[in-house]
A and B are shown apart, each in its own frame.
Chain A
C-alpha cells in the first residue's frame, strides 16, 4: 500500500468462497485478504478461474446464496457486507459500490433503452422523478463521451457500437457517484484505441470523485496503465502483492514471473521467443497440495524437502509488499536474474 496511515475504504479479511457442486466443493476463493483506500486503483491479475470475478461478485453479494458458503470479512467503509441484509445490500449496490461488467452487450438489457437503464439506477437510489433521472442519464452519457447524448439516450444497446456500449455501462455504474467501483475486465472485448479511451475515462472520473477502483484483468499491459497496486491471484489465493512498479519490475513469485515472461516486451529484442507457463490452471475442485502453483513451477525442486508440495507458503505483507513462495530472497534474486536483465531498461 502506498500510504498506510489512511483508513482502508474496503477491507477484505481471509475471504473464503466455496461452491457446492455435484462433484464436490469448489474452493473458488480460499483465504484472500486485501485493503483498498479511496482514490486508489487495485489491479487484480490472474488466469481464468483464479477467483478474480468470484471475489468481486461476493463483494456485491451477487453470488447464489443457495450453493455458496462464505467465510471471512468484507468491510466497506466500516460496514460488514457479509452479514448485511438483502435490503441493505440493495441500497449499497449501484449506489455506494457498483460494477462494470465485461461483456457490455450481454450485460445491458436488450429490452430497455440505454437511458432508461441508467435512469433506473438513479431513481432507485435517489427517489427522484422520471424527468430528472432522464436529465441525469443524458448528463452521464455526455460525461462518458457519447456524442449527441440527448438523442442517443433513447437508443437501445444494440444500436450502440461496442465502445459506446461499454461507455454506457460505465455511465450506468457511475450514475450515483459510487465510492467503490469494480471493473471486471471492462476493456477485454474492445479494440486498443477504445480500450485506451475507456481507461483514460476511468482515470479522469477517479480523479474527479476519488473513487476506489478494483480493476480485474488478465492483461498486464492494462495493469501497467491504470493500477496503483497489483494483486496477483492463483488458484483462489493471492500469490503476490505490491505496487504496480514492484510487481511488474521486480516480481517475487514464479507465477508472476511466468506471466511477465509470456508477454512481449516493447523494449527488448524482438526475436526472443515468449515463454508460456507450462500446464493448465489448477482444478479448484481438487487443488494441488501445498503451493497451488508447484506442479507448474519451474523452481519447485530448488526448495529443499519437497516443501512446495506439502506446505502452503504464507503470504506475508510488509508495507503492502509480499509474496507467497518458499524460495528465499537470495534464491529469487539469483533465479529471477534473467528476467531482470531483459526488463530493467
Chain B
C-alpha cells in the first residue's frame, strides 16, 4: 500500500508538471498579448514595455516557466508588489490578486456543489439502476430506462432556468441559489445550494441509472450468482452480497472521475445560478488571457483528476481481492 502511494504520487507529480508546461506553451501559442490588454487604449511602446516587465512576461517563455515553477517551491518576489511566499502561483494579470488566494476563495463553493450533487446523483442514479435491473423488462425498468434517456438529453441551461422560474419564482418552494459557507450556517448552505444540486445531479443521475443497470444485469448473469442461488441463498441476499459487489467496481471508477471533473468547476451550472465557483473563474481567466489564473485553475482540475484516480484504484483493490496494488 505504501509503495503504491509513493509510486502513484511521484507519477502524479510528473503528470502535473507536464500539464503545466503544456498549458504554458499553449498560452503563448495563441497570438494574444496580455500586456496589450492591461495597457489600455493610449498605450505607448514604452508603457507596453513597462507593463510587460511588471507582469513578468518580458523573459523568454522557458525562463518564465522556470520562474513560475520555482515560485511554487520557494516563493517569488515581485519587486514593488511585494513578496509572494511559497507556494506561489503568481498574481492575476487582470486584477493583481494572488492566484492561490482567489482559487481558495472560490473552492468551497465548487466543492459544495460537486459533493452535494454527487450525493444526489449517486443515490438516485444507482438506486434507480438497481430497481431497473431487478425488475428487468417490467414497467419499473421501462420507466427508469426511458426516464434516464430523457433526462440525459436535457441541458442544464434549459432545466436550470425552467426550474428557477417555476420552483423559485412561481411556487417559491426552493430558495434562490446562493452560497453561504457550511461553517457559517449549515441550513442556509444546504437550502441555498439545493436547486443547483438537483439540476446538476439530474443529468448525471440519468447516466448512473443506465450504467448501474447494465452493470447489474451483467453481473446477475454471472456463474457465481447462479452458484449462490444453488446454495439456497435468497434472491435478495444474492443480489446484495454477490451481484452488487461485482457491479460496484466500474461504478466507483466512473464516479471518481466524474467527481474530479466536477471539482474542476461546473461552468454552466455556476453561470446559470450565478454562483462564483472555480468554473466561472476559469472561464473568465481564459477570456482575459490571464495566464497565472489559467495555470492555477488547470492545475486544480488536473490535481483533482489525478488524486481521484489514485483513490479509485485503492478503493477498487478493496472491492476486488484479485487486484493487487503495486
Binding site for B on A (CB under 8 A): 60, 62, 66, 86, 90-95, 98-99, 101, 103, 106-112, 120-121, 124-125, 156, 158, 172
Contacts and interface: CB of A to CB of B under 8 A. Distances in A.
Given A101-B223, A156-B321, A156-B322, A109 B231 contact: no
A95 B227 contact: no
B230 interface: yes
Nearest to A66: B137
B284 interface: no
Q: Residue among B229, B234, B322 with the most chain A CB within 10 A?
A: B229
Contact of A110 (B137, B229, B320): B320
B223 A107 contact: yes
Contacts of B226: 62, 101, 107
Cβ-closest 7 pairs across A and B: A94-B232, A94-B231, A93-B232, A106-B223, A109-B224, A121-B231, A107-B223
B245 A120 contact: no
A286 B242 CA distance: 37
A103 B222 CA distance: 11
B233 interface: yes
A109 B233 CA distance: 13
A217 B234 CA distance: 29
Main secondary structure of the interface of B (DSSP, over half): helix
Contacts of B231: 93-94, 98, 120-121, 124, 172
B103 interface: no
A125 B319 CA distance: 27
Nearest to B231: A94
A306 B227 CA distance: 46
A91 B321 contact: no
Contacts of A121: 231-232
Contacts, number: 68
B202 to A, nearest CB: 32
B160 to A, nearest CB: 40
A110 B322 contact: yes
Contacts of A108: 224, 227
A158 B321 CA distance: 9
A103 B322 contact: no
B233 A90 contact: yes
Given A90-B234, A103-B223, A109 B228 contact: yes
Given A110-B321, A111-B320, A172-B231, 4 more contacts: A91-B232, A103-B223, A107-B223, A124-B233
Contacts of B241: 112
Contacts of B223: 101, 103, 106-107
B232 A158 contact: no
A172 B231 CA distance: 8
Contacts of B233: 90, 94, 120, 124
A114 to B, nearest CB: 11
Contacts of B296: none
Contacts of B222: 106
B232 A101 contact: no
B246 interface: yes
Given A90-B234, A91-B232, A124-B233, A101 B227 contact: yes
Interface in B279-326: 319-322
Contacts of A106: 222-224
A247 to B, nearest CB: 28
29 contacts: A66-B137, A90-B233, A90-B234, A93-B229, A94-B231, A94-B232, A94-B233, A95-B232, A98-B230, A98-B231, A101-B227, A101-B230, A106-B224, A107-B224, A108-B227, A109-B224, A109-B228, A109-B245, A110-B224, A110-B246, A110-B320, A110-B322, A111-B242, A111-B320, A124-B231, A156-B321, A156-B322, A158-B321, A172-B227
